[in-house]
């Protein structure tokens, strides 16, 4: 069995982050600070060898991934976009501040993806990545909006 290593990173700053608004799956690009952060991350990881770089298909994640790839000093990995890496969907809570969500009386808004749904589709993706790497040494950077689901499970 091959060796399989994952490196998780979070996307750079967006205007929604700066304003304290819940992004969820709204496609918000990086702001100026976020673009600088993506470039700095790329420089920090420049000498790391990644066989593949997976990214959510949301623009903030793609832009962060581009910063990593652009700065690679070893063979540049290809980007693989996968919607299963998107941040959890928060339904009607997306675009609202914590205070606005609290005033509606629920932090579990209508149409939100359940925690179980979120874990299930990401676990499926991790299984697919592991199977793909079974014959080779693979080091993969995965850029997405929310790594807390892994940390907490």
Q: What is the 3-state secondary structure (H, E, C) of 57-108?
A: CCHHHHHHHHHHHHHCCCCCCEEEECHHHCCCCEHHHCCCEHHHHHHCCCCC
pLDDT of residue 36: 96
Confidence (pLDDT) at 66? 93
Domain segments of the chain: what residues? 4-151
Q: Given a cut of 60, is residue 75 above it in pLDDT?
A: yes
Residue 8, classed as helix, strand or coil, is strand
Write out the binding residues: 10-17, 60
Q: Which residues are catalytic?
A: 11, 87
Report, as an integer, the average pLDDT of 109-127: 76
Least confident of 2-16, 51-65, 120-134, 137-151: 137-151
Cα 143 from Cα 130, distance rounded (Å): 16
CA distance 12 to 18: 11
Architecture of domain 4-151: 3-Layer(aba) Sandwich (3.40)
Closest CA to 55 of 65, 41, 45, 47: 65
- Tell me the C-alpha distance between 5 and 50, whole Å: 9
Query: Binding site for substrate: which residues?
Result: 10-17, 60
For the entire predicted model, the pTM comes to 0.80
Q: Hey, which of 14-18, 87-91, 107-111, 117-121 has the most confident mean pLDDT?
A: 14-18
CB contact at 8 A, 15 and 79: no
């Amino acid at each position: 069995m091959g060796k399989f290593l994952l490196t998780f990173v979070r996307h750079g700053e967006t205007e929604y982050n700066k304003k304290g608004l819940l992004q969820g799956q709204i496609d918000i690009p990086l702001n100026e600070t976020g673009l600088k952060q993506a470039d700095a991350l790329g420089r920090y990881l420049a000498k790391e060898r990644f066989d593949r770089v997976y990214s959510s298909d949301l623009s903030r994640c793609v832009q962060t991934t581009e910063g990593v790839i652009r700065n690679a000093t070893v063979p540049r990995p290809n980007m693989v976009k996968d919607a299963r890496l998107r941040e959890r969907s928060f339904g009607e809570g997306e675009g609202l501040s914590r205070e606005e969500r609290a005033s509606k009386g629920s932090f579990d808004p209508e149409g939100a993806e359940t925690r179980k749904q979120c874990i299930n589709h990401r676990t499926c993706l991790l299984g697919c990545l592991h199977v793909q790497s079974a014959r080779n040494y693979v080091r993969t950077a995965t850029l997405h909006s929310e790594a807390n689901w892994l940390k907490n499970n």
